Amino acid sequence: MENNRVIRSAFKVGGFTSLSRVLGLIRDVLTANVFGVSAVMSDFVVAFRLPNLFRALFGEGALSSAFVPVFMATRKEEGVAAAWMVARKTATLVATFLLLLVIALILATIAIERLNPDLAARAPHLLPLMRIMMPYILFICLAGLCMAMLNACHRFSLPAFTPSLLNIVWIGFVLLVCPRLGAAPEQQIYGVAAAVFVAGLVQMGVQLPALIRLGFRPGFTWDLADARVRRVFALMGPTALGQSVTQVNVMVNALLARWAAPWAPASLFYAERLLYFPQGLLATAMSTVLLPVFSGHAARGDTAELRNTLNHALRTLLFVMIPASVGLLVLAGPIVGMIFGSGRFDAAAVSHTAIALRFYAPGLMVFCLAKVFVPAFYALQDTRTPFRIGLRAVALNFALNVVFVLTWPLDYKHAGLAFATVLSEGMNGITLAVLLRRRLGAMGWPEIFAAAARALACSAVMALALLAAHPLLVRGLHAAALPGKAVEIGSVFGAIAAGMAVYFAAARVARAPELGFAIDAIRKRRSAAAMREKSPQAGGG
């Protein structure tokens, strides 16, 4: 029963996350059309990495992972009012720290600009763009804390929708504001930076009414002596890196990519955006739902149920992520050309981005490991282990980055950075799995390995179908005298549909239980939705 609830909640969150991904895709298509993989776009990408890194470190990642177990334990032991007071005190300290951090970082960019004029000459828009976006750190981290409060109350829908607001604001600014700033990309890019600033404020503000209805009272309550608040920050420190290995690695990649080639950061950015779409479908949603569920198991001391939930979640994720990885690997070129290939995003940009995507694609198989294992450690209030392993993963990523940038050909240097991230993430996930097994005991690894083997075998059959279907569709659509873009869209979506049909058919032939997990969760979710429609008093998430 618990497993079905987890999967249904994950699909609910995944639905809103998928909406965000679709809006993000529209946003990226518009941005690619206007800026391509130009040097100014690369400057924006690198500048955006820093506030985005802090969002991952202290916002949606570390704060939520540290806050949720403490909030739930306080509510269980001391009541709802005490839990909301912990939330208010935590928000006060977080806001104060982040405000001082933003001021310090803005002053640092001014100092760097004056002390290192060569950097300003090589990347003239990098530091000015960074200054505009720096307040996003404050707003988005507070928005992340609001999301954690709502998730702790098992309200998943609004927090899952909130990231879409960044994409909505970004799209509006690209269409309405950027053209008013001038004709050159170097002028228009500042409109995109302003969109990031505004979106952070909107993402924070939209969640406050829901929190107030649940009992939260915004305000300023400074209390460093509260042991529960200190516990949140004690957990948050090592949690920051432990849960955000990917973001740290991506930040390092962007800095080295800007050194490798002017177009490299932008190419990696667009490849990552395509990678995040399938990852957000279930992996990110599953991680969001699992933390409070694991925390509940840990609070009750129910280790057996925690192991069972881990097994179920990991098998379901692998069932989805492995074919998504293989599909991106096979269709990287056609997908990039279909989505981004217009305007300033020329043939060279398509080629560079497709190369990066092919080297990123295997990462979907390993990125999901941390999405399952890290919340389990945090539910056990162990943040040191993911922190230590995360440090090793970052060190490995940096070492591989340097080696690949120095040794790989120019057109593949950025692909080496992507591959380094995959390798370091794989090490991170596998090590966490081994250590978690020592902590909790056997989690049904023969079943997990069998599930992965079935998914790989079915994906191999799917890959053959993709390789056969796409050229046939291209020839057939060309013969029908359709426009070029229509041929690209029809052939890619037709091949994806054929590949999915073959994969699910192969899974049914292989009698994969994971197919039943997903179908059963969807059926129960639809049944629950129908019950809510019949009962006007039913509460929503």
End-to-end CA distance of the chain: 18
The pTM for the full model equals: 0.77
Looking at residue 496, its pLDDT comes to 94
Overall size of the chain counted in residues? 541
Name residue, tokens 């460093």.
224
pLDDT digits (tens, 9 = 90+) for 62-71: 677 778 888 8
Q: What is the reported pLDDT for 288? A: 54
pLDDT at 9: 57
* Buried residues in 90-124 as b, exposed as e (16+ CB within 10 A): bbbbbbeebeebbeebbeebeeebeeeeeeeeebe
Q: Decide which of 478 and 460 is more confident.
A: 460
Is the pLDDT confidence value at 321 over 90?
no
Taking the mean position of all CA atoms in its chain, how far away is CA 289?
Answer: 14
Q: Is the pLDDT of residue 209 over 60?
A: yes
Question: What is the pLDDT confidence band of residue 344, given thresholds at 50, 70 and 90?
Answer: confident
Write out the DSSP string of 109-159.
HHHHHHH-HHHHHHSTTHHHHHHHHTTHHHHHHHHHHHHHHHHHTT--HHH
Compute the average pLDDT of residues 451-465: 93
Highest mean pLDDT among 248-252, 403-407, 478-482, 513-517: 403-407
- The pLDDT value given to residue 518: 61
User: Computed from CA positions of residues 159, 200, 89, 211, in that sequence, does the dihedral angle turn out positive or negative?
Assistant: negative
Determine which of 250-259, 390-399, 526-535 has the lowest per-residue pLDDT on average. Answer: 526-535
Which residue from 296, 277, 302, 308 is spatially nearest to 517, judged by alpha carbons? 308
The pLDDT value recorded for residue 63 is 72
Instruction: Give mean pLDDT, residues 461-471.
Output: 94
pLDDT at residue 517 is higher than 80:
no
Which range (105-119, 169-183, 321-335, 524-538) has the least confidence? 524-538
pLDDT band, very low/low/confident/very high, at 299 (cuts 50, 70, 90): low
Average confidence (pLDDT) over 502-525: 76
Q: Which of 521, 150, 42 is nearest to 312 (CA)?
A: 521
Average pLDDT estimate for 273-288: 65
CA distance 354 to 503: 23
The most confident of the ranges 15-19, 285-289, 500-504, 530-534 is: 500-504
Instruction: Give me the pLDDT at residue 298, please.
Output: 63
DSSP string, 183-234: SSHHHHHHHHHHHHHHHHHHHHHTTHHHHHHHT--------TT-HHHHHHHH
Output the CA–CA distances (angstroms, integers) from residue 33 to 262, 351, 466, in the order listed.
17, 15, 28
d(CA 513, CA 498): 22
Given this model, what pLDDT does residue 76 score? 81
The whole-number pLDDT of residue 235 equals 72
Q: Counting Cβ atoms within 10 Å, is residue 479 exposed (0-12), middle (13-18) or buried (19+)?
A: exposed
How large is the average pLDDT for residues 478-489? 87
Of 146-155, 205-214, 293-302, 519-528, minimum mean pLDDT range: 519-528
**Is residue 79 over pLDDT 50?**
yes
CA within 13 Å, CB half, 259: 12
For residue 480, pLDDT beyond 60: yes
How much is the mean pLDDT over the chain? 82
CA of residue 194 relative to chain centroid, distance: 22
